[in-house]
């Protein structure tokens, strides 16, 4: 029953009803027509065995006002924080900014796009998360992330902080979630074990110091071919 329907049922005007509802106190409003008319209305319903319908309770929220919990009882903000949390995982080489990288730039771009589709995960928040994974205190701006995502190529962007920081972040996430290495990841480990990876003696992983996608000096009868792992091979033209 709506307020208007109730006013008609007890035969009072909207103004009379509003004045009665505006006062508080045990005896306040006893001179209003609403008091005796409503009393008779509820007494009649009681004799008929009809019970008053309790008001609907509002759903509780644990987050900001109006923010509904996601499945599992988490708000958007909490879910985003979980998505960017890599726990207390520590990787070899992390302190010196030399964690061996075993993902291509395109694979990292794919992973970034996936996490940015999660509720509440913004570019700014992701940039702050990956900046923490660089050895020295670094700042990574959303424009740098956008620039990296706007390129294509197995090694295009290999020297950027976005690439390195993102790799370390996702590797920590993999370890935290106890997920196995993919087939491609295992192949990358075999390919980039060194010593011909350009990083120097004893250094493993893809070269993140020298631009692997830049211009090359090659012989006039050769061409450079890059495989899916980022390795370059010089072959004679016509082959």
Residue 231: pLDDT band (50, 70, 90) is confident
The span from the CA of 145 to the CA of 33, in Å, is: 69
**Enclosing H/E stretch for 27:** none
Distance between CA 136 and CA 37 in Å, rounded? 77
User: To the nearest whole number, what is the mean pLDDT of the chain?
Assistant: 83
| pLDDT tens digits, 20-79 | 887 677 777 777 888 888 888 888 887 877 766 555 555 554 444 455 555 566 788 888
Residue 226 is inside which H or E element, if any? strand 222-226
pLDDT interval class at 184 (50, 70, 90): very high
What is the separation, in whole angstroms, between the first and last Cα of the chain? 85
Q: pLDDT at position 56, please?
A: 56
Bridge partner residues of 225 (DSSP): 233
Residue written as tokens 């211009």? 215
Q: Which of 9-13, 23-27, 66-70, 85-89 has the lowest mean pLDDT?
A: 66-70
Q: What global pTM score does this model have?
A: 0.65
Tell me the helices (H) and strands (E) count for the chain, helix number first: 9, 2
Outline where 48-199 has alpha helix (H): 76-83, 105-116, 123-131, 142-149, 161-176, 183-191
Determine the 3-state secondary structure of 17 from DSSP: helix
């Amino acid at each position: 029953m709506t307020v208007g329907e109730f006013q008609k049922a007890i035969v009072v005007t909207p103004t009379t009803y509003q004045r009665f509802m505006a006062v508080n106190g045990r005896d306040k409003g006893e001179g209003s027509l609403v008091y005796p008319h409503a009393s008779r209305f509820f007494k009649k319903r009681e004799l008929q065995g009809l019970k008053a319908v309790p008001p609907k309770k509002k759903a509780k929220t644990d987050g900001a006002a109006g923010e509904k919990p996601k499945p599992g009882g988490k708000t958007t903000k909490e879910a985003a924080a979980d998505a960017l949390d890599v726990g207390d995982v520590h990787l070899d080489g992390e302190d010196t900014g030399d964690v061996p990288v075993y993902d291509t730039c395109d694979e990292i771009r794919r992973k970034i796009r996936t996490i940015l589709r999660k509720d509440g995960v913004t570019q700014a928040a992701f940039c702050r998360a990956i900046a923490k994974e660089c050895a020295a205190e670094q700042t990574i701006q959303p424009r740098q992330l956008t620039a990296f995502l706007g390129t294509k190529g197995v090694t295009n962007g290999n020297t950027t902080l976005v690439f390195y920081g993102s790799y370390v972040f996702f590797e920590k996430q993999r370890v935290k979630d106890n997920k196995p290495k993919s087939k491609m990841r295992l192949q990358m480990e075999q390919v980039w074990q060194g010593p011909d990876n350009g990083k120097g003696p004893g250094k493993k992983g893809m070269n993140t110091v020298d631009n692997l996608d830049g211009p090359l000096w090659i012989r006039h009868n050769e061409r450079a071919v890059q495989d899916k792992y980022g390795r370059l091979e010089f072959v004679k033209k016509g082959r």
